[in-house]
Amino acid sequence: MRLSRYFLPVLKETPAEAQIVSHRYMLRAGMIKQASAGIYSWLPLGFKVLRKIEQIVHEEQARAGHIPMLMPTLQSADLWRESGRYEDYGEEMLRITDRHGRDMLYGPTNEELITDIFRSNVNSYKDLPLTLYHIQWKFRDEIRPRFGVMRGREFYMKDGYNFDLTKEDALHAYNRHLVSYLRTYERMGLQAIPMRADSGPIGGDDTHEFLVLADTGESEVFYDSAVTDIRLGAREIDYDDKAQCQAVMEEFTSLYARTDETHEEAAFAEVPEDRRRSARGIEVGQIFYFGTKYSEPMGANVVNHEGARVPVHMGSHGIGVSRLVGAIIEASHDDKGIIWPEGVTPFHCGIINLKQGDAEADAACEALYKALEGAGLEPLYDDRNERAGGKFATMDLIGLPWRITVGPRGLKNGVVELTSRRTGESEEMPPEAAIARITEIYAGV
Amino acid sequence: MRLSRYFLPVLKETPAEAQIVSHRYMLRAGMIKQASAGIYSWLPLGFKVLRKIEQIVHEEQARAGHIPMLMPTLQSADLWRESGRYEDYGEEMLRITDRHGRDMLYGPTNEELITDIFRSNVNSYKDLPLTLYHIQWKFRDEIRPRFGVMRGREFYMKDGYNFDLTKEDALHAYNRHLVSYLRTYERMGLQAIPMRADSGPIGGDDTHEFLVLADTGESEVFYDSAVTDIRLGAREIDYDDKAQCQAVMEEFTSLYARTDETHEEAAFAEVPEDRRRSARGIEVGQIFYFGTKYSEPMGANVVNHEGARVPVHMGSHGIGVSRLVGAIIEASHDDKGIIWPEGVTPFHCGIINLKQGDAEADAACEALYKALEGAGLEPLYDDRNERAGGKFATMDLIGLPWRITVGPRGLKNGVVELTSRRTGESEEMPPEAAIARITEIYAGV
């Protein structure tokens, strides 16, 4: 993309309403604009990051064998009356009346709707196991929305639902989700620690939240510092292998790691003192096993091997897709702006032309731009007629991990400058070497 | 995908509520399930087609230089009061009150919101031309929703907005959209004819609707049959070339083609009698030029070359993404089911194992499946333990354009059968030849 043809309305001033760094930088970098309280438009740069995160979620769900579909945003109140949650849910549920006076709601979650789809179509254990998921806009009418997309009212979320014949199978689904979520977050450059949590209005006993450590997190968390040394890394996972998924789950959840909702001083005291940590965390996902909580009242039964009709065992699993954009910024920034991990960066590389209008510099930038596009990458070329200082400041603010700077002086020596946004380190090299380096970096992402 | 692990709840019976063929087949093929009146869940197969259509729209918008972003589903009523449309819009607008008593609405379209984004960020002619678009769920509270996704209440739509300094530039944007829409529809295997139409509540004088001819269309249309002979085809388009876009626009819109809203008997009578046609059509898109209708009342001004502040010239452009799924089926089916055009098919090819459990047949199917996946294609392998007749019926119903049938008898002679869903013609060939043929077909899509 050529910046002269893009829509990147960066702000010089920090908007007064933004209290946390991700909100400030998302506004300043022209990623979002508030449409009304807790509701945002995703401007082009923000939308690109949102889509990258969505794509990673889809890819990792596919790898785990989960099946994508899409449920609508608006739901009939009838199903929620059937499960008993219509009254329970409180004022965070946005209740709507249509022109015929029917009670509707903007879905905050989809247990009822998916259970209805399941019970209408599945009758036999032969069709199990089954995990369906979707990524869709949700609404929670927060009384005091704040922190930008971190605690908005309209938010984009992946929610998935597993249907299994037995508790044992459902617990495998639980473990499979835990493992696939770990991989999902790692691909985004995030460490998200599974912590034993409280189930809230979803219900059920088994639940873990995934928390990213950050000073601005809304949750207080307590953990054994050894938990932060564990990575899934590149290990091969067979998501059908119950023992392997169980082992990974145990590896990641055996050490003490809890939110304040489930924190127990006595258990925490058993952690060696030099490894006891309390910190703040941002919740970026949660998994639940809740057995037959929805299948029993809603009649989601299948015929088992013995010919008896039994309610299915279910769980649900969520990833906050729009919230992740903010969480990644909270975890990866400096005082100049955002620092995108390679896995989610909106453009792979920036190109700065130090002397727009100089024939040689223009030609070198064009050649770089086309070569990077030809390598399947998306560069952002700042081809505006602006001062170099302004171009650097914008590029630092929007946080592309790599930048190539092109100027007449370097070109005389046949070199351009490749700079890492994270370390700030620069290296001069011929343009071809810079292209090769960038291509190699992204080949591994 | 292996069918044994997929969720494809095909129905034997035709649901009584479905009056038109696309609605019937979408329900029977397990593509959608009604969640409430005019609101559908997209089951896995339907979701795959929806995403393919969305992807084609994104790709063609990118080619035309239009910039993707995303506006929220819920909007504040305030902006609509500013444009004067809040009261005008009537009962099709779903009005919502949040917990603080603020008036909100579920966006049926986004002229106000995008104009607000524009006026907050753009001040100079130097930032023009600019075309922003998004693909987002919309809601129109139809009094009598029907025909499945063709006339639902919650629907998925691409809407785009151009901002230009002059009327001339805005008319180029109009032409550019017309050309890019033609390409978009052709890639989906559709002929959509631009017809002069009425602008309705969007406003403006210049507007064309794109109509797909189909007996079940909601619009009566009148046209010169010669218009159906024109194709964009593979010609190279430079979307920055005003003259070229203008010429294509004229080529496609000079012949008589109008909806009943703008039909004029006198003008129609000038069409040679043997080329006069009246038929029914499905509206799958519309483009508008409406000048300063929104920019003036909402103060979307830029400084022009002379330093004066002038309102920008705007247009908007829509493609009914979810509706297209139905429109494609209306235009492409037979009495056995859907016939997907290659550009939008949910899976590229079906594989039918005539004798599941037969070691040789199973191995041949597995090898085919992996080879097709290795070639970057998505096969759907019917690996269920079902009778061949049922497998054929399901495959015909869901409409994959190509099917490979594998059975012990053919394998003895080293062949499988490749069948075209459209023609019904089958040909025996070695598995490698079938793979090569399928790969070649999709290389051109």
How close is the nearest chain B Cα to the Cα of A44, in Å?
4
Domain assignment present for A311: yes
CA dist list (Å): A8 to A47, B147, B371: 12, 41, 43
A-chain residue closest to B143, CA distance: A99
Domain assignment present for A252: yes
Q: Do both B379 and B288 map to the same domain?
A: no
How close is the nearest chain A Cα to the Cα of B309, in Å?
19
Query: What span, in angstroms and rounded, lies between the C-alpha atoms of B131 and B160?
Result: 7
Q: Tell me the three-class secondary structure of A382-428, residue by residue.
A: ECCCCCHHHHHHHHHHHCCCEEEEECHHHHHCCCEEEEECCCCCEEE
Domain assignment present for B344: no
In this predicted model, which residue has the larger pLDDT, A198 or B104? B104
pLDDT digits (tens, 9 = 90+) for B41-73: 999 999 999 999 999 999 999 999 999 999 999
Nearest residue to A441 (alpha-carbon basis) of A353, A375, A365, A368: A375
Place B206 in a pLDDT band, splitting at 50, 70 and 90: confident
How close is the nearest chain B Cα to the Cα of A28, in Å?
12
Place B198 in a pLDDT band, splitting at 50, 70 and 90: confident
Place B83 in a pLDDT band, splitting at 50, 70 and 90: confident
How many independent structural domains does chain B possess?
Answer: 2
pLDDT digits (tens, 9 = 90+) for A427-445: 999 999 999 999 999 998 8
Q: Do both A324 and A356 map to the same domain?
A: no
Q: Do both B210 and B353 map to the same domain?
A: no
Domain assignment present for A288: yes
Of the residues B66, B67, B325, the best mutation for testing chain A's interface (the one with the most A CB atoms within 10 Å of its CB) is B67
**Residue A94, H or E segment:** strand A94-97
How close is the nearest chain B Cα to the Cα of A34, in Å?
9
- pLDDT at position B1 is 96
pLDDT digits (tens, 9 = 90+) for B390-429: 999 999 999 999 999 999 999 999 999 999 999 999 999 9
- pLDDT at position B437 is 97
Domain assignment present for B343: no
A-chain residue closest to B33, CA distance: A117
Place B216 in a pLDDT band, splitting at 50, 70 and 90: confident
Q: Which residues of B are less than 8 Å from A98 in CB distance?
A: 94, 141
| Last residue of one domain, picked from the residues A338, A370, A394 | A338
Q: CB-CB: which of A33, A36, A117 is closest to B41?
A: A117
Counting Cα atoms < 13 Å in the Cβ hemisphere of B370 gives 5
The proportion of chain A whose per-residue pLDDT surpasses 70, expressed as a percent, equals 98
Is B154's CB within 8 Å of A74's CB? yes
Domain assignment present for A344: no
How close is the nearest chain A Cα to the Cα of B210, in Å?
26
| Last residue of one domain, picked from the residues A271, A304, A338 | A338
pLDDT at A149 over 80: yes
How close is the nearest chain B Cα to the Cα of A141, in Å?
7
**Residue A172, H or E segment:** helix A167-187
How close is the nearest chain A Cα to the Cα of B92, in Å?
8
- pLDDT at position B203 is 61
Place B445 in a pLDDT band, splitting at 50, 70 and 90: confident
Is B137's CB within 8 Å of A44's CB? no
Place A203 in a pLDDT band, splitting at 50, 70 and 90: low
Q: CB-CB: which of B67, B72, B137 is closest to A7?
A: B67
Q: Which residues of B are less than 8 Å from A47 in CB distance?
A: 68-70, 134
Q: Give the number of other CB atoms < 10 A from CB of residue A91.
A: 13
pLDDT at A418 over 70: yes
Q: Do both B86 and B180 map to the same domain?
A: yes
How close is the nearest chain A Cα to the Cα of B108, in Å?
14
Is B73's CB within 8 Å of A7's CB? no
A-chain residue closest to B11, CA distance: A121
Of the residues B104, B123, B384, the best mutation for testing chain A's interface (the one with the most A CB atoms within 10 Å of its CB) is B104
User: Looking at residue B409, which CATH number applies to its domain?
Assistant: 3.40.50.800
- pLDDT at position B202 is 60
Is B41's CB within 8 Å of A7's CB? no
Q: CB-CB: which of B6, B41, B91 is closest to A71?
A: B41
Q: Do both B254 and B364 map to the same domain?
A: no
B-chain residue closest to A126, CA distance: B4
Is A70's CB within 8 Å of B143's CB? no
Residues B104-129 have a mean pLDDT of 95
ipTM of the complex: 0.96
pLDDT at A198 over 90: no
Place B14 in a pLDDT band, splitting at 50, 70 and 90: confident
How close is the nearest chain B Cα to the Cα of A266, in Å?
41
Q: Which residues of B are less than 8 Å from A71 in CB distance?
A: 35, 41-42
Average pLDDT, chain A: 95
Is B41's CB within 8 Å of A67's CB? no
Of the residues B27, B71, B158, the best mutation for testing chain A's interface (the one with the most A CB atoms within 10 Å of its CB) is B71
Is B120's CB within 8 Å of A74's CB? no
B-chain residue closest to A40, CA distance: B72
Is A117's CB within 8 Å of B43's CB? yes
Contact criterion met (CB below 8 Å) for B86 and B77: yes
How close is the nearest chain A Cα to the Cα of B30, in Å?
9
Q: Give the number of other CB atoms < 10 A from CB of residue B306.
A: 7
- pLDDT at position A201 is 64
Q: CB-CB: which of B35, B65, B141 is closest to A72?
A: B35
**Residue A280, H or E segment:** strand A276-291
pLDDT at A231 over 70: yes
Q: CB-CB: which of B47, B50, B69 is closest to A43?
A: B69
Contacts of B300 (CB under 8 A, 6+ apart): B115, B118, B119, B163, B294, B311, B312, B314
pLDDT at B179 over 80: yes
Query: What span, in angstroms and rounded, lies between the C-alpha atoms of A405 and A388?
Result: 10
Q: CB-CB: which of B30, B70, B98 is closest to A47?
A: B70
- The verdict on whether omega for the bond into residue A201 sits within 30 degrees of 0, i.e. cis, is no
B-chain residue closest to A123, CA distance: B9
pLDDT at B88 over 90: no
Domain assignment present for A343: no
Which residues make beta-bridge pairs with A95? A105
pLDDT at A205 over 70: no
Of the residues A5, A80, A121, the best mutation for testing chain B's interface (the one with the most B CB atoms within 10 Å of its CB) is A121
pLDDT digits (tens, 9 = 90+) for A87-135: 888 899 999 999 999 999 999 999 999 999 999 999 999 999 999 999 9
Q: From its phi and psi, is residue B419 left (phi > 0), alpha (psi between -120 and 50) or beta?
A: beta
How close is the nearest chain B Cα to the Cα of A340, in Å?
19
Is A102's CB within 8 Å of B36's CB? yes
pLDDT at A268 over 90: yes
pLDDT digits (tens, 9 = 90+) for B248-294: 999 999 999 999 999 999 999 999 999 999 999 999 999 999 999 88
Is B122's CB within 8 Å of A9's CB? yes
Q: Which residues of A are less than 8 Å from B98 in CB distance?
A: 94, 141
Is A117's CB within 8 Å of B143's CB? no
pLDDT digits (tens, 9 = 90+) for A311-356: 999 999 999 999 999 999 999 999 999 999 999 999 999 999 999 9
At position A75, the amino acid (one-letter code) is: Q
Range of the domain at B407: 349-443
The proportion of chain B whose per-residue pLDDT surpasses 70, expressed as a percent, equals 98
Q: From its phi and psi, is residue A257 left (phi > 0), alpha (psi between -120 and 50) or beta?
A: beta
Q: Do both B302 and B407 map to the same domain?
A: no
Q: Do both B21 and B109 map to the same domain?
A: yes
Residues B370-381 have a mean pLDDT of 98
Contacts of B353 (CB under 8 A, 6+ apart): B361, B362, B365, B381, B382, B383, B391, B406, B407
B-chain residue closest to A9, CA distance: B121
Domain assignment present for B98: yes
Q: Do both A282 and A189 map to the same domain?
A: yes
Q: Do both B282 and B374 map to the same domain?
A: no
The C-alpha torsion from B375 through B380 and B382 to B384, rounded to 10°, is 110
Is B36's CB within 8 Å of A121's CB? no
pLDDT at A305 over 90: yes
- pLDDT at position A87 is 87
| Last residue of one domain, picked from the residues A293, A315, A338 | A338
A-chain residue closest to B116, CA distance: A35
Q: Do both B46 and B91 map to the same domain?
A: yes
Contact criterion met (CB below 8 Å) for B445 and B59: no
Is A68's CB within 8 Å of B44's CB? yes
Q: Which residues of B are less than 8 Å from A157 in CB distance?
A: none
Q: Do both A175 and A291 map to the same domain?
A: yes
Query: What span, in angstroms and rounded, lies between the C-alpha atoms of B41 and B43?
Result: 6
Q: Which residues of A are less than 8 Å from B67 in CB distance?
A: 6-7, 44
Q: Do both A327 and A357 map to the same domain?
A: no
**Residue B373, H or E segment:** helix B359-374
Place B121 in a pLDDT band, splitting at 50, 70 and 90: very high
Three-class DSSP category at B381: strand
User: Looking at residue B72, which CATH number applies to its domain?
Assistant: 3.30.930.10
